[in-house]
Each structure stands twice: as C-alpha cells, then as structure tokens.
Structure 1
Amino acid sequence: MTTTPTPGALTRAEIESQPGLWQEVLRHAGGPALAAPGERVLFIGCGTSAFVAHSLAVLRESAGLGTSDWAYGSELPPGPRDYDRVVAITRSGTTTEVLEAMEALRGSTRLVAVTAVEGMPVEGLADDVVALTAADERSVVQTRFPTSVLLLGRAAFGESVGHLPAACGAALAADRPDPASFEHFVYLGRGWCQGLADEAALKIREAAQAWAESYPALDFRHGPIAVAGPRSHVWLLGPTPAGLADDVRAVGATVREPVHDPLVELVLAQRLAVDLAAARGLDPDAPRHLTRSVILDAPDAVRG
C-alpha cells in the first residue's frame, strides 16, 4: 500500500532540524571569509539570499569590521566601488543572476561563494568557497540554509551565539503562533532585522500564497498602517520602537513583539508560514510557480 506524503512534511522537517544543524554550523571553518576585518565588502544574492546579504552587511559593519554593502545579484551598484571582496550567497550554486554578477566582477576583486552544494558552477568563479553542505535543503522554500549562513556570519563577526541552538529548540517546542484568524501578515525590523522581516514575509507568500508585507519598523506608520486592521498580524523581528506596538494595536491589528533572539523569531515565522499553508489547503513542498533555483536561458542583455 502506497503512503501519501503529508503536505508540507518536507519543509516542516527542515524547519524543525535547525537547532541540531546550527550546532554543526558553529563548528564550520568558513567564518573568516565572511569577516575579512578592514576590507570593503559587498554581499550579493537573489531572493532569500539577497535578504541574507542585507542582514550580513548590516551586522558586519555594525561590528566595526569595515564598510559593508549589499545588493541583489541582478542589480549591482553602478560604477566602480573598489570592493576588496564580494560575497555571493547562492544555495544551489547555479542561480543565473549571481553567476553573471560574479563573472562581471571577476578579476577586479576577491570573490567568495557561500553555497550548500559542492561542485556547482559558482565554484569555478570563486576564489574562496564556504560550503554549508549540511544545511542543504530538498525543499524549494528556503529555511535552514539562510538561517545557517546568518548564524555563521554572526559568529564570525564576534557575536556570542553558542546558546542559540538550544534556544531555538526550546522555542520550537513551546512557542507556536496560530495564523488561522488572520489574512494579512506584516513583518517589521530595524537594522539587520529588516532583512529578516523581508524574508519572513517572503515565506508567507511562497508557502501559503497569502498577503504579506515587510517594512523597516519605523516606516510602517508612514503609509502602510493604512491597510492594517483586525485581520492583520504584525510581527516585530527585533527590538520594538517606543510607541509602535500601541499605535498598531490602536487600528485593531494583533501585534507580536519579540520573545526570542531575532534569528529564532525567524524560524518561528517560517513555521507559521507552513501552518498557514496547511490551514489554506496548500502544500508548501510544492509552491506555485517556483523552482529550487532560477536558471535563465540567456544573459539579461540578450533577453532585452
């Protein structure tokens, strides 16, 4: 008798695997390639990896390690920037826009690839490779690879993060927000947590095909709050700016203020997206219109 897989079982298992995986990531030797003290560094990626690039850039510069910028792989800064190093993040090692960006930068700066799969095209373009093979995923929707890269970066930048695997496990066991009564999901963050907010909202759109937005926390009152109401769930990923939670509650929305480390909050937001997908009768293991890697047939300049 054939057993039908439970919808979302694969993505959910990868989310739940993160506490144990993070312990292994903290033993990884690739951190120095991300830190590069004193260098000017550009972090790039596409989709989820672009949001990781954003967070890493803010974290690195805030740690005093040097000028740190970020960009989408398809939208490199115009003109020369004299970067000492470009860190390209690509789970599959095959993302076309990232490969094109690295090809364009080759020879002008040191290129570092952060990937989950060895032997992929990105290795042929990189001077250094950080391969987090244990963090690879079968799911299309990324969960444990981006959090592992962020954890590795935080450790490399000098943060004390050794407690986070256990903290993540405890949070997954005890903290499960229920999305059933909401139709509008908003994620807010400041500093490096803005990248987390963007990623949390993307998980809702990818896994559950639902209405999700993300903003810098203090910018929410500058327009976006106009669509918030009783069916809105507003999640703050990081410290809550004074008065913001009260202002959001005043329009009838439900507010979640952070209980855990922001990276742990992101893991819980990932699971909420999968729970929402289940409530909507969707399978996040087979997200609509998505593939594991975006591989284009021809360079952008040719496509027009």
Structure 2
Amino acid sequence: MPRHPRTAQHCTKEHPVTLTSREIDSQPAVWREALDRHADRARDLLTLPGARVLVLGCGTSAFVAESFAALREGAGFGMTDAAYASEPWPWRDYDAVVVLSRSGTTTEAIEAIDGLPEGVRVIAVTGVADSPVAERADDVLLLDFADEESVVQTRFPTTFLVLARSAVGEDVSGLPAEAEAALARPLGLDTASLEHFVYLGSGWTYGLAQEAALKIREAAQAWAESYPLLDYRHGPLAVAGENSLVWIIGRSEPSLVEDIERVGATVRTSRHDPLIELANAQRLAVELAGHRGLDPDNPRHLTRSIVLG
C-alpha cells in the first residue's frame, strides 16, 4: 500500500496533484535513466537469441507480458509466449521464464515460479530487490528506480517496455524528450461529457490498449473496454454512442474510424509513440477520477500487491 494513503473524501473540487499524476509526469526522466543505465542489462536478459521464452504476469504485468512477447518474437529473437501467472498454461519446454512483478510479492507469481521444472532459467523483472520473486530468480532486472507508491501502476510498466524495445533493437533514444513535450500539453478531451471508454491496439500495442482500459476501471471506476483494432466492429461497436471515446493506440484503419464516427462516438487516433499514448491515457484516468471525486492512488477494493493467505 502507499506510504501516504489518502481516501476519496479528501479530494477537493480543486483536484489536488496525486501520487499517480506525479508518477505519470516523471516518466520521461525515468525512461531516460533506464536507457542510460540499464539498457545493456536489459538486452542481456530479455533478448536471449534463439531461446524459447514464456513471460508471466498478473494484471498490468500480464498485459505488459503480452506486449513484450509480441515485440521479442516479432524482432526475430525466438518463440515467445505470454500467459497469466494466475491461470494454467501448457508447458512447451521453455528455456527461460520471465516473471514480471512490480512488488515481487504477488502470490500467483511466486507459485508460478515454484511450479516450474528444474533447470528452467527464471528472470525476474521487479521493483523490489529483496522480494520473494527476486529471491527465487536466477537473474533480476531490477527497476527499483521506476517503482511507485500508488496502487495504480503507471511508470513501472512503461519503463520496462522502453527497455524492452531498446533491447530488441528499436531506437527509442528520443522518446523521453518527446514524452516531456507531449505530457506538458492539455489532453484536449471533454472529460465531463464522456461515460464510455474504449481502447484499441494491434500487435504489441494491444497489450497497451488493455492496460489503458484497466487504468480507467481502477482509478475512475468507469466503464472501459479494450479490443484488437480490427475486431472492434465484430460486435463491440454496437454499444458505442455519443458519450463514447474510442482511443486507437498505434496504427489505425481509416475505414474503422469512419465506422466509429458514424455512430456518434469520439475517435482519437495516435498522435505520438504508443507508450506516450499510454501515458496520456493514464492522465485521462486521473482526470476522470478527479471529476468523480475519487482518489486514483487508492482504488476501492484494491491493494498494491495481491498476497493470498
């Protein structure tokens, strides 16, 4: 839990700055530090050329696992599967398992590691060095500088994906500066008029779409969905209307945009790199929480880590 918890009744009409918004704004600096100090370590632990890799996570980490799996396999480093640590998965003689866990204390992640066959290399990506997940791993990519106090994850997952993209060969050196400029500008959305939020992605950005929708549900207790880009008109489009925002992260499709606009929904296509789009989606969740008088750092029914007795 956050060290300085606050409850919803402490929110005022002025919508004071929250831990979440400060952590969102800090992302460019954290990304810069990650690239300057940890890119080589990430490359060594995440590429593993030719290895068969399984990536596990829960919640946000599961969505990030999906994005990373698509990035690694798409870059030609080898077969990469992603799965929920909390769900059974078929074992395919993996050479290594990457476990994503910000806190390093999530019960399902620990149990997943404990259930792996002998001899499988375990690589932990975590924000806490002395956590149970880290202690069970053969190697650790420690992102303690990207850890955060809020229950809601923002900069930890994006920092991992910046490093992952760098590791697989993408040039993301200009991303921190681009993010600083983008995060300094208004979102340009009439938040008060929106009630329904949909995020669409394709390939590795589908994981980002899922994460963006989760932020709306967690922080603002609002109706949010996520779908693969072109699958949206295969049913889900039926509930879109004038109070809907459909935000496309990554590549778009003009005919789909026309179909969505035809039902009266607001469509937002990507203006920046997909990770910056996700950071702006995080900003929207915080802004929406403020309008609803909610504390985005402490969502109801949630804790920073799921630890089962």
**Common fold: TM-score over 0.5:** yes
1:290 maps onto 2:299 in alignment: no
Contact in 1 for aligned 2:126/2:134 (Cα 8 Å): no
Cross-structure match for 2:150: 139
Query: In structure 1, how many angstroms separate the alpha carbons of the residues matched to 2:142 and 2:216?
Result: 27
Contact in 2 for aligned 1:42/1:69 (Cα 8 Å): yes
Cross-structure match for 1:300: none
Contact in 1 for aligned 2:63/2:211 (Cα 8 Å): yes
Contact in 2 for aligned 1:8/1:284 (Cα 8 Å): no
How far did 1:286 drift? Answer: 1.6
- 1:239-250 aligned within 5 A: 239-250=251-262
1:65 maps onto 2:77 in alignment: yes
Cross-structure match for 2:32: 23
Cross-structure match for 1:10: 19
Cross-structure match for 1:192: 204
Letter in 2 for 1:52: V
Three-state SS of the structure 2 residue aligned to 1:89 is strand
Three-state SS of the structure 2 residue aligned to 1:149 is helix
Unaligned runs of 5+ in 2: 1-9
Letter in 1 for 2:63: F
Three-state SS of the structure 1 residue aligned to 2:99 is strand
Cross-structure match for 2:217: 205
Query: In structure 2, how many angstroms separate the alpha carbons of the residues matched to 1:61 and 1:107?
Result: 25
Cross-structure match for 1:121: 132
How far did 1:241 drift? Answer: 2.0
Query: In structure 2, how many angstroms separate the alpha carbons of the residues matched to 1:114 and 1:209?
Result: 28
Three-state SS of the structure 1 residue aligned to 2:192 is coil
Three-state SS of the structure 2 residue aligned to 1:180 is helix
Query: In structure 2, how many angstroms separate the alpha carbons of the residues matched to 1:76 and 1:63?
Result: 27
Identity of aligned residues (%): 61
Q: 1:94 aligns with which of 82, 88, 105?
A: 105
Contact in 1 for aligned 2:86/2:109 (Cα 8 Å): yes
Contact in 2 for aligned 1:7/1:282 (Cα 8 Å): no
Q: 1:51 aligns with which of 58, 63, 68?
A: 63
Three-state SS of the structure 2 residue aligned to 1:276 is helix
Q: 1:256 aligns with which of 268, 278, 284?
A: 268
Three-state SS of the structure 2 residue aligned to 1:94 is coil
Q: 1:274 aligns with which of 286, 293, 299?
A: 286
Contact in 1 for aligned 2:104/2:128 (Cα 8 Å): yes
Cross-structure match for 1:83: 94
Greater CA deviation, 154-163 or 101-110? Answer: 101-110
Query: In structure 2, how many angstroms separate the alpha carbons of the residues matched to 1:124 and 1:155?
Result: 26
How far did 1:35 drift? Answer: 1.0
1:131-152 alpha-carbon deviations (Å, 9 max, x no partner): 0110000000000000001111
Cross-structure match for 2:163: 152
Query: In structure 2, how many angstroms separate the alpha carbons of the residues matched to 1:279 and 1:12?
Result: 14
Query: In structure 2, how many angstroms separate the alpha carbons of the residues matched to 1:190 and 1:265?
Result: 14
Unaligned runs of 5+ in 1: 298-304
Query: In structure 1, how many angstroms separate the alpha carbons of the residues matched to 2:67 and 2:25?
Result: 22
Query: In structure 2, how many angstroms separate the alpha carbons of the residues matched to 1:140 and 1:37?
Result: 35
Structure 1 runs of 4+ aligned residues shifted over 4 Å read: 4-8
1:112 maps onto 2:123 in alignment: yes
How far did 1:186 drift? Answer: 0.1
Contact in 2 for aligned 1:8/1:278 (Cα 8 Å): no
Q: Could you say which structure has the greater relative contact order, defined with CA pairs below 8 angstroms and 6 or more residues apart?
A: 2
Letter in 2 for 1:96: T
Contact in 2 for aligned 1:189/1:236 (Cα 8 Å): yes
How far did 1:7 drift? Answer: 5.2
How far did 1:8 drift? Answer: 5.5
Contact in 1 for aligned 2:128/2:134 (Cα 8 Å): no
The number of residues matched between the two structures is 293
Query: In structure 1, how many angstroms separate the alpha carbons of the residues matched to 2:291 and 2:282?
Result: 15
How far did 1:175 drift? Answer: 4.2
